[in-house]
Amino acid sequence: MTTDSKMNETIDSVHHSHPSPGKYFKVAITLVIITAIEVGVFYIEDLKWGIIPVLLILSGVKFGLVAMFYMHLKYDSKLFSSLFFGGVGLAGCVCIALMALFKYFL
């Protein structure tokens, strides 16, 4: 297989393997339901500090759904995923380092 045909195959697979509009609607409904749960959970006073991991997990799921389906990372090249999630990972490290520097966890 020549380099040209490999390249065309890559580009074709990128352009034609995206989900259907129905799938996009399902993801949107899921995102709305998760947001509603977030707001609902927020008003449950009995959860106390337990609310923090619950909200972080729920927003993480929303973040992942948008990245994977709407930004097509699930279907695109792994290099794009590496670049983006590398940035997300570094951002997380920056957050933790800055918070540790300012004694946020003490």
Partner 1 sequence: MDNTSVMENQAEDSHKTTTGLNSRKLLMWLFLGSDCMFFGSLIATYLVHQGKSLVGPYPVDVFDIPTTSVSTFVLLMSSMSMVLAYSALNRGNLKGFRIWIISTAIMGATFLAFQVFEFRTFVHHDHLTPQVNLFGTTFFTLTGIHGVHVTLGVIWLLSLFFHSFRGGVTPEKSLDVDLAALYWHFVDMVWIIIFTVVYLFGVFRGF
Which residues lie near partner 1 (CB under 8 A)? 3-4, 6-8, 10-11, 14-15, 18, 20-21, 24-25, 27-28, 31-32, 35, 38-39, 42, 48-49, 51-52, 55-56, 58-59, 62-63, 66-67, 69-71, 77, 79-80, 83-84, 86-88, 90-92, 94-95, 98-99, 101-102, 104
The full DSSP string for the chain is --HHHHHHHHHHHHHH-PPPHHHHHHHHHHHHHHHHHHHHHHT-GGGGGGHHHHHHHHHHHHHHHIIIIIS-TTTS-HHHHHHHHHHHHHHHHHHHHHHHHTTTT-
For the bound state, the minimum distance from the C-beta of residue 72 to partner 1, rounded and expressed in Å, comes to: 8
